[in-house]
Amino acid sequence: MAIKKVGVVGCGIMGGGIAQVCAQSGYHVTVSEINDDLLNKGLKVIKGNLAKSVEKGKLSKEEEAAIVGRLRGTTKVEDFGDCDLVIEAATENMNLKKKIFGDLDKVCAPNAVMGTNTSCLCVTEVAMATKRPDKVIGTHFFNPVPIMKLLEIVTTIVSSEESLNTVKVFGQSLGKVIVIAKDTPAFIANRIAVPMFIEAMKVYEAGLATKEDIDNAMVHGYNHPMGPLALADLVGLDTLLYVYESMYAEFKDPRWAPPLLLKRMVTAGQLGRKSGKGFYDYTKK
């Protein structure tokens, strides 16, 4: 099935980025939020990103206007009724995602495909909240979406080959590099990266090295573009904690247990860049 109109549930960091990339790729996009304030905030960020691209000469004013013209904001789930593909980009909370998919199932066209932008949760469980589990696929974008090339597509034991191919072609049209993963905890990229994040936090927690030296070791020793602690701040420490807890619950393996320091930081509201403080202090920059 050819995708012409895309819906995005959530206009935060991930949802806004997904909506922007889709609109830039020529799709008409309906993006939603739970209230007008959050919706306007998210749309403002998208427009700000496009304006910066114009300033840098990456977009013309005409292209910017065309992209904005393809974006439509809403607070009503009914407005996804004419979308060919709807991508959910809500908080990593299974109950919330299941509710969203149950609501979408009632309003979306019978042939519409649904994607969940989860980074760790069971896609099969999300799919079973609908009456069309064969049309539910994991669509794991990476942050920041307009810059990061990877799209991890997650297929379940009930996903149809048609749904997988539809999302694969769609992802390629966004200019993404596609990898296909089975529906196992954390899929491919995070399953490999999570142990590094956890070990970096444990090294810092034990006082074996400074955060700067830990990050510099990975940046200059392994050519990573960003150190694990700085990257954790970018992703969001609350998000990572939820990922680790979900993986530990699935595997019951101590190596996936979240470090105590991470739990304390999240409890204290130190969530990384989005709160102004995590492993690093962003209020002074």
Q: In the annotation, is 140 catalytic? A: yes
- 216: tokens are 């510099």
Pair 216, 227: CB distance under 8 Å: yes
CA angle 154, 155, 158 (to 5 degrees): 150
Q: In the annotation, is 119 catalytic? A: yes
Catalytic residue among 163, 190, 246, 275: 190
Rounded to whole angstroms, the Cα distance separating 95 from 126 reads 9
Residue 55 φ/ψ, nearest 5 degrees: -60, -35
Q: Which residues contact 260 (CB under 8 A, 6 or more apart)?
A: 205
Q: Which residues contact 273 (CB under 8 A, 6 or more apart)?
A: 233, 234, 236, 282
Catalytic residue among 152, 159, 163, 275: 152
Rounded to whole angstroms, the Cα distance separating 104 from 79 reads 10
Other residues' Cβ atoms within 10 Å of the Cβ of residue 47: 15
Rounded to whole angstroms, the Cα distance separating 118 from 99 reads 14
Would you call 74 exposed, middle or buried from its count of C-beta atoms within 10 A (0-12, 13-18, 19+)? middle
Catalytic residue among 92, 140, 163, 275: 140
Q: In the annotation, is 220 catalytic? A: no
Beta strands in 160-281 (DSSP E): 177-182
Instruction: Look up tokens 């935060």; give the residue.
Output: 12
Catalytic residue among 32, 53, 117, 119: 119
Q: In the annotation, is 190 catalytic? A: yes
Residues labelled as active-site residues: 119, 140, 152, 190
